[in-house]
Amino acid sequence: MAMIHETIAILNFGSQYSQLIARRVREQNVYSKIFRPDIPARELSRLNLKGIILSGGPASVYAEGAPHCDEEIFELNIPILGICYGMQLGCQVLGAGIIPAGSREFGRTDLTVFNKSDLFKNLPDSIIAWASHGDQLENPGRDFDILAETKTCPYAAVRHKRINFFGVQFHPEVSHTPKGSTILENFLYGICGCTGDWKMSDFVNETVESIRRKVGSAKVICGLSGGVDSSVTASLVHKAAGDQLVCIFVDNGLLRKNEIDNVVSTFRNHFHMDLHVVDWSRQFLEKLKGVTDPQQKRLIIGAEFIEAFKFEAKKIPNTKFLAQGTLYPDVIESGEKASAGSSSKDLTVGAANIKLHHNVGGLPAQLGFELIEPLRDLFKDEVRVVGEYLGLPEDVVWRHPFPGPGLAVRIIGDITPERLEILRAADEIVIDEIKSAGLYRKISQALAVLVPVSTVGVMGDGRSYESVIAVRAVETADFMTADFSRIPHEVLATIANRIINEVRGVNRVVYDISSKPPATIEWE
């Protein structure tokens, strides 16, 4: 029987940090889940609920149409922590006034702590905090204890005297609040009484058992890409269903060098999975011929992938389920609806269907499959932990993200077999050299881009007029923002030297030093 984990419910009022709050809670071995802001208290009470966190948000609590919560959550006798907007909303519900701040706070600020009995236990009298607010508490009155202040915010942290509510007018979840993890730990363990029962070994065992019960004797198909998400999904399902799992790997002709051999070696030869490799490269390249618009490339590749996948899937009898590597950020960003039994409102304020995160989008309905998404409650770093626990090779677990459209979005302009070979060779050198330098785990994503520009060079005693390769490497915690990697110059020199000497058709290498935003990580 599945264990019912103690849960921290995060009510999302539109904060850009809501997912980060969930991650920070889980890092403390406590399960967290994000809910829409107005989820009824009675639904929350069905959980093994240990605490509630009200997130920040861009609205003002006194503005017309501002997001609200079910006020009955304050009657559940469950500890509540309000962060920024969440603090203001909680204080307003409990009788305090909120006004525009005379001096807004954005960025690092010095927080002076008055009371260290619970939320600020084991902290110094002054800490650095990250603030981002234009409103603040006006006058808490006699019902609140003042726990901390900043120079311009006299009520930067409060505690209600009767209701188990705490509010902070800063963000303890961000790295810019260095002692923020201690504040969250105090809330989780000292105030909520959590025991820390969220462990990946438990997750794996419970998920395997759940898949086994759901699947029965039916076949399960998994679209395998070789990336960590689909690889961990396939491994979980294989552990649960064994030979009932059939993996389909589509060769779109846009893969990295030796990609097919690596996937076959890992999953067919090592894990003994039933792996079908579909060579659809001719169809992909024919449809992409002469296409230079990046969005058009993506649409063509997505449509062809579905055709290739359907072609192979129809050969597999008794198939009832399709396994996908959907992650928790995918669920949130796609405007996924709340869990069964709740209303159809989105998990976030103003959530939009931003993107389809998987190539197999639409296939379940077309083929009549039921979905299995064993990773839909996990973040990327948690997926890697599961992969290690399942015994996946390190180069699979820690592989950098690779886009679904493959090298097509790293070739600017027309896609031809010749240009693909140039990029494959350059890409292999980039990855090889950052691994040799011991930088692969430090860098979040590294890639080579073939630029549709020829430049003059001198090779041997003659003039050359050949292509440019741009190298891109970034470091990021969440891929929402990223900074370029400070790769040592000697490593960059080796990369450039090898590409120019070993890859025919290239006479110049440049390094992309833009951050995200304004630039994206991929070039197309």
Its sign, for the CA torsion 62, 68, 70, 73, is negative
* Amino acid found at 455: T
DSSP state of 172: T
Spatial distance between the Cα atoms of 447 and 449, rounded to a whole number of angstroms = 7
Residue 288 tokens, joined = 């992409």
Say what the alpha-carbon torsion angle 515, 521, 522, 524 is, to the nearest 10 degrees.
-60
**Catalytic annotation present for 276:** no
Say what the alpha-carbon torsion angle 72, 86, 98, 63 is, to the nearest 10 degrees.
-90
Say how many Å lie between the first and final Cα of the chain, rounded.
47
By three-state DSSP, how is residue 455 classified?
A: strand
Q: What is the DSSP string of 25-91?
A: HHHTT-EEEEE-TT--HHHHTTS-EEEEEE---SS-TTSTT-----GGGGGS---EEEETHHHHHHH
Tokens 């011991």 sit on residue: 438
Residue 274 tokens, joined = 């039933």
> Contact at 8 Å (CB) between 107 and 151?
no
Tokens 């891929």 sit on residue: 479
Nearest CA to 137 among 28, 62, 191? 62
Q: What is the DSSP string of 13-40?
A: SS-TTHHHHHHHHHHTT-EEEEE-TT--
Residue 212 tokens, joined = 């086994």
Q: Catalytic pick from 69, 105, 160, 173?
A: 173
What's CA 514's distance to the chain center, in Å? 21
**Catalytic annotation present for 171:** yes
Q: Catalytic pick from 5, 6, 84, 428?
A: 84
> Contact at 8 Å (CB) between 196 and 29?
yes
**Catalytic annotation present for 84:** yes
Its sign, for the CA torsion 73, 74, 80, 86, is positive
Q: What is the DSSP string of 313-348?
A: HTTSTTEEEEE----HHHHHHTTPBPPTTS-S-BSS
Q: Catalytic pick from 171, 238, 428, 524?
A: 171
Nearest CA to 312 among 202, 219, 211, 176? 219
By three-state DSSP, how is residue 230 classified?
A: helix
* Amino acid found at 329: P
CB atoms within 10 A of CB 426: 29
CB atoms within 10 A of CB 503: 23
Catalytic (active-site) positions: 84, 171, 173
